Chains A and B, each alone.
Chain A
């Protein structure tokens, strides 16, 4: 079956540009998470959706980061006015509703800000 799909796999942008990263979760998964993984580090939580509701955005590093999931399926992470410190791999994960179920990860989008 299809797993979590993320696009693009690689994105290069100039400092100051806006970028949009897409996540297609596993069909039927109501929970969707975004994580940021800096080079050589473990992933760090950014935000969490249950269906279309954004229940936790405590990990978003600044108001330049915005995420949405308008129909409770596909999600987009948008970064405005990108800065060099935004360079990282952005991982999306989805899971069943139940809290103790494992999250299934996509392969990520590697974002490089020049």
Chain B
């Protein structure tokens, strides 16, 4: 069975500092991996995806993610956090079309 784990309910970081939001996954076969962001009372916005190729994936708003097959991880990163990055972040995996989401991590960036 496919599953996604986001071990941190909340990540706190100061503006201008680097941020990491962790994600590990379990799936048979080659996974398609995604990160989405959700703002209050809104749907999910696509940030980036890993399908194949380079392990470092670049996405929207300066975010990137590193795919590590041996550790089955897909951590979201950003070199310099902004207060406006504060939101709920979801990691998701798919190999059949439907998305399997983690529980979400709230990112709080403080000025």
Of B63-71, B72-80, B92-100, the one with at least 4 CB within 8 A of chain A: B92-100
Residues of B close to A56: CB separation below 8 A: 96-98
Q: How many residues on chain A are close to B (CB under 8 Å)?
A: 26
| Of B41, B46, B100, B103, the contact of A102 (CB 8 Å cutoff) | B46
The secondary-structure label for the interface of chain B is strand
B25 CB–A CB distance under 8 Å: no
Q: Which residues of B contact A48 (CB under 8 A)?
A: 97-98
Residues of B within 8 A of A107 (CB): 41-43
Number of chain B residues whose Cβ lies closer than 8 Å to a Cβ of chain A? 24
Can you list 16 A-B contacts with CB-CB less than 8 angstroms, sorted by A residue number?
A: A31-B97, A33-B98, A35-B99, A40-B104, A42-B4, A43-B101, A45-B99, A45-B100, A48-B97, A91-B43, A99-B97, A102-B34, A102-B46, A107-B43, A108-B42, A108-B43
Interface residues, chain A, CB within 8 Å of chain B?
A: 4, 6, 31, 33, 35, 40-45, 48, 56, 59, 91, 93, 99-100, 102-108, 110
- Chain B residues within CB distance 8 Å of chain A: 4, 32, 34, 36, 41-46, 49, 51, 90, 92, 94, 96-104
A56-B97, A99-B97 given. 6 additional CB < 8 A pairs?
Answer: A41-B103, A43-B44, A45-B98, A91-B44, A107-B41, A110-B41
